[in-house]
Amino acid sequence: MTDINLFSYDLPEELIAQHPAGERDASRLLVADRFTGKIEHRFFSDLPDYLREGDVLVFNDSRVIKARLYGEKEGTGARIEFLLTRQIEKKGELWEALARPAKRLKPGDRVTLGEGFSASIESIGEDGLVRVMFTARGGFFNALDRYGHVPLPPYIRREDGGSDAERYQTVYAKAPGSAAAPTAGLHFTENLLTRLKEKGVETVFITLHVGLGTFRPVQTENVEDHKMHEEYYHISDEARAKIDLAKSEGRRVICVGTTSVRSVESAYASSEYDGSTDIFFYPGGKEFIVTDALITNFHLPKSTLFMLVSAFYDREKILEVYKEAVKERYRFFSYGDAMLII
């Protein structure tokens, strides 16, 4: 069994980014070569220097919804917070959500969220998870846009506002459904995408709606005992064809973010290209069969994301890379800097 503490590292709190960089591609880029061990310090705008004609970049085009909602429980006025984590019915308004405080809720309770917008508790699960049916005059997503909040993670110690609605979203976001941003993609600009296209780099867009599977903390002492929550993903026939051709021709498939990794690896391991995944990567576990290189942010200690990166590179070596990033004062987590592992 693998001790969770093997995936811990020291991080000064002041290195946790509270705001995005002035410009998306002005964030820093640490480049780590898995084969030579070489580390370089660049800026994200330098990314084209490391890519070549024929490379395929895989992006997650999921769009972050205003997944944090505040309301009052009918009858008592108790303040209730919801964080939407997964849409249960694609055409309906039934969602899985984290509720705080869940202990104040029971099935049948109603929570008023805004004018003509309310929630009815269908069932109560474990760890604050509830099933909620929403009723919204004028449509659910319209109400969410009006009354919801950008779901900034808890280590960003401020309320959402200002530029968050734009900056906690990739420039290519399309399919609404994520409760957190696929953060590696936040560094891309339209201009950078154009430069990559001019260099002959191909782009593929897949969808994984980010939910509990990505950001739920590991609460077991042994890594293998952790159970991932399922997240919905979709890979189109066009995207699959581009990836298939690249792999058959020996060209690199470079995933932008851990969610892109989990999508393509799930799909190619199961031959299912539209479904849910609970795939979990850690050193000594599943093998990577598609991903040749990875663009990713710096992740929380003991998180499943840090374990995935450790499995892709090497646990001891990635800890050394993170130690170097701390020494060089990189900015960490969602609004922080990025790394390219080649």
pLDDT single digits (tens) 9-36: 999 999 999 999 999 999 999 999 999 9
Asked whether residue 2 carries a pLDDT value surpassing 90, the answer given is yes
pLDDT value of position 325: 98
pTM comes to 0.95
Q: What is the mean pLDDT of the chain?
A: 96
Asked whether residue 89 carries a pLDDT value surpassing 80, the answer given is no
Q: What integer is the mean pLDDT of 72-81? A: 96
In Å, what is the CA distance from 311 to each residue of 19, 281, 336?
A: 29, 6, 22
Contact assessment for residue 206 and residue 241, using Cβ atoms and an 8 Å cutoff: no
* Banded pLDDT at 91 (limits 50, 70, 90): low
Residue 161: beta bridge partners?
A: none
Q: Domain residue spans in the chain?
A: 4-64+165-341, 68-147
Asked whether residue 215 carries a pLDDT value surpassing 90, the answer given is no
pLDDT value of position 92: 66
Asked whether residue 90 carries a pLDDT value surpassing 70, the answer given is no
Q: What integer is the mean pLDDT of 192-207? A: 98
Q: Which is it for the CA torsion 253, 255, 259, 261, positive or negative?
A: positive
pLDDT digits (tens, 9 = 90+) for 287-312: 999 999 999 999 999 999 999 999 99
pLDDT value of position 247: 98
Q: What integer is the mean pLDDT of 165-185? A: 97
Q: What integer is the mean pLDDT of 148-154? A: 97
- Identify the residue whose tokens are 């998180």: 303
Altogether, the residues listed in the chain come to a count of 342
Asked whether residue 313 carries a pLDDT value surpassing 90, the answer given is yes
Asked whether residue 278 carries a pLDDT value surpassing 70, the answer given is yes
pLDDT value of position 136: 94
For residue 312 the two structure tokens come to 């892709």
Q: What integer is the mean pLDDT of 211-228? A: 92
Q: Which of 298, 309, 320 is nearest to 29 (CA)?
A: 298
Q: What integer is the mean pLDDT of 273-279? A: 96
Percentage of the chain lying above the pLDDT 70 cut: 99
Contact assessment for residue 167 and residue 20, using Cβ atoms and an 8 Å cutoff: yes
Q: Does domain 4-64+165-341 have CATH number 3.40.1780.10?
A: yes
Q: For the domain made up of 68-147, give the CATH fold.
A: Thrombin, subunit H (2.40.10)
Asked whether residue 126 carries a pLDDT value surpassing 90, the answer given is no
pLDDT value of position 306: 98
Q: Which of 164, 184, 185, 160 is nearest to 174 (CA)?
A: 185
pLDDT value of position 329: 98
φ, ψ dihedrals at 214, nearest 5°: -85, -45
Q: What integer is the mean pLDDT of 75-86? A: 95
Q: What integer is the mean pLDDT of 265-282? A: 97
pLDDT value of position 216: 86
